Amino acid sequence: MKLAGLFAGVGGLERGLAAAGHEPSLLCEIWEPARAVLAARMPDVPCKRDVRDLKALPREVELIAGGFPCQDLSQAGQTLGIGGARSGLVGEIFRLLDRRRVPWVVLENVSFMLQLDKGSGMRTLVEAFEERGYRWAYRVVNSLSFLPQRRERVLFVATTTDVDPASVILTDEAEPSVLPTNLDAYAHGFYWTEGIRGLGWAPDSIPTLKNGSTVGIASPPAILLPSGDVITPDIRDAERFQGFPENWTLPAEQVCRASLRWSLVGNAVTVPVAAWLGKRLARPGKYDASRDGALPLSGRWPTAARYDGNGRHAVNINSYPKWEQRAALTQFLRHDGKLLSARATRGFLSRTERAKLRFADGFQDRLRQHLLRMDALANAKFAVAAE
């Protein structure tokens, strides 16, 4: 299909769909660093600046795809809901659909939207599609299905065609091979900026890449290596954790500070997730209606559901459509990470010592040993400088 990529970011959703044969004919992105990436990586695709200025979509467009802004929906953001200034931009999609009812729509957003404000945002979304004659299906999909990043996002598919959207998003299911914690055997990802209420613990993988600060303060995860060193990954490996070639976001440095590349990567849609979805759009499966269950009338939405034109159903399916074999995290990393500083390690340890969380046996001890090494390294550098 010909697609219009709205809220395109650095093109993760569009790149994945294109890998399955769907051709972008229009992009729309307002943030200059992301626009610089799109101009360099998809130079032949017209890119409009502001979705609010789009009067209509090109006639050839059969698919609207968009990871609409999540700042008002995410737990780490403002949680203002779907009516927030940023996330409310999804309303622009309905304005365009009212001009021409494009047969397919694919949306992506954070899984927290299913519970935010007792599910009212999700209810608003599905009612808007139903009023326009669309059937829909959605599912939480974990990027860990394809890459060593634990990242759950809602994929929402709506259509006016005879194809059941459940046959696109709700047919594939795999049993994940998630490893248990073993500090001696492999690396473990976590968030060094946390430690009081959560950790984002991820055996042989990293937790969700975040978008960092809008002023360019990066927020990469930490990785505890089997050696006991604690590092933060290189931005080029962060791009690979999202399925991009390394240096995909490098063109952004022409218009912004380098650290903002972390925001671009953290905001992106994981490319192989989009590629899997694109393949199913081209070749739908067969939905098994025995997965249907009762949908709660109010409150938090389930992790998967569908609307068949007559009623809404919860769906019993996990968040892993595939399970791709992958190298160990230590082998996945191609570039030397940056050792977590003594200051960052000390602050993290201080928070863990005040927390009521349970940590893996030996985890805090390894962090303390890392801190001792970092302090010794700093003292050695100071002594050399003093000479």
Q: Which residue has the higher pLDDT, 107 or 86?
A: 107
Q: Are 308 and 341 in the same domain?
A: no
- Is the pLDDT at 85 greater than 90? The verdict is no
Q: What is the pLDDT of residue 50?
A: 94
Please check whether residue 167 lies inside any domain of the structure. Answer: yes
Please check whether residue 320 lies inside any domain of the structure. Answer: no
Sequence-distant (6+) residues with CB within 8 A of 255 are 32, 33, 36
Q: Are 68 and 197 in the same domain?
A: no
Going 67 to 9 to 242 to 323, the CA torsion angle's sign is positive
Phi, psi of 214 (to 5 degrees): -70, -15
Q: Are 241 and 117 in the same domain?
A: no
Give the domain CATH number at 108.
Answer: 3.40.50.150
Q: Is 4 helix (H, G, I), strand (E, B) or coil?
A: strand
User: Distance between CA atoms of 236 and 338, rounded to whole angstroms?
Assistant: 12
Please check whether residue 182 lies inside any domain of the structure. Answer: no
- Is the pLDDT at 49 greater than 50? The verdict is yes
Confidence of residue 203 (pLDDT cuts 50, 70, 90): very high
Q: How far is CA 167 from CA 119, 135, 163, 225, 358, in A?
A: 24, 12, 8, 41, 41
- Is the pLDDT at 75 greater than 50? The verdict is no
Task: Let me know: does 179 contact 201? Beta carbons within 8 Å.
Answer: no
Q: Are 274 and 236 in the same domain?
A: no
- Percent of the chain predicted with pLDDT > 90: 82
User: Distance between CA atoms of 92 and 94, rounded to whole angstroms?
Assistant: 5
Task: Let me know: does 349 contact 368? Beta carbons within 8 Å.
Answer: yes
Residue in the structure block whose two tokens are 């595939």? 322
Please check whether residue 252 lies inside any domain of the structure. Answer: no
Task: Let me know: does 282 contact 20? Beta carbons within 8 Å.
Answer: yes
Q: Is 230 helix (H, G, I), strand (E, B) or coil?
A: strand
Sequence-distant (6+) residues with CB within 8 A of 143 are 149, 150, 151, 152, 153, 242, 270, 272, 273
| Residues known to be catalytic | 70
- Tell me which residue range forms the domain holding 149: 2-176+268-315
- Across the range 13-29, mean pLDDT stands at 98
| Residues facing residue 99 across a β-bridge | none
Task: Let me know: does 218 contact 259? Beta carbons within 8 Å.
Answer: yes
First to last CA, the chain: 67
- Is the pLDDT at 202 greater than 60? The verdict is yes
Please check whether residue 322 lies inside any domain of the structure. Answer: no
- Is the pLDDT at 134 greater than 90? The verdict is yes
- Across the range 215-240, mean pLDDT stands at 92
Q: Are 192 and 214 in the same domain?
A: yes
Confidence of residue 213 (pLDDT cuts 50, 70, 90): low
Please check whether residue 293 lies inside any domain of the structure. Answer: yes
Q: Are 46 and 162 in the same domain?
A: yes
Q: Are 48 and 148 in the same domain?
A: yes
Q: Are 33 and 111 in the same domain?
A: yes
Q: What is the pLDDT of residue 380?
A: 84
Please check whether residue 299 lies inside any domain of the structure. Answer: yes
Average pLDDT, the chain: 92
- Element (DSSP H or E) covering residue 202: strand 202-203
Please check whether residue 183 lies inside any domain of the structure. Answer: no
C-alpha of 42 from chain center: 21
Q: Are 42 and 19 in the same domain?
A: yes
User: Distance between CA atoms of 32 and 275, rounded to whole angstroms?
Assistant: 26
Q: Are 80 and 35 in the same domain?
A: yes
Q: Is 3 helix (H, G, I), strand (E, B) or coil?
A: strand
Q: How far is CA 269 from CA 155, 204, 251, in A?
A: 10, 21, 18
- Is the pLDDT at 80 greater than 60? The verdict is no
Is this prediction's pTM over 0.95?
no
Q: Are 169 and 196 in the same domain?
A: no
Q: Are 202 and 162 in the same domain?
A: no
Number of domains into which the chain is organized: 2
Sequence-distant (6+) residues with CB within 8 A of 106 are 13, 17, 63, 64, 65, 66, 155, 156, 157, 277, 281
Q: What is the pLDDT of residue 278?
A: 98
pLDDT tens for residues 257-290?
999 999 999 999 999 999 999 999 999 999 999 9
User: Distance between CA atoms of 242 and 244, rounded to whole angstroms?
Assistant: 6
- Across the range 212-217, mean pLDDT stands at 62
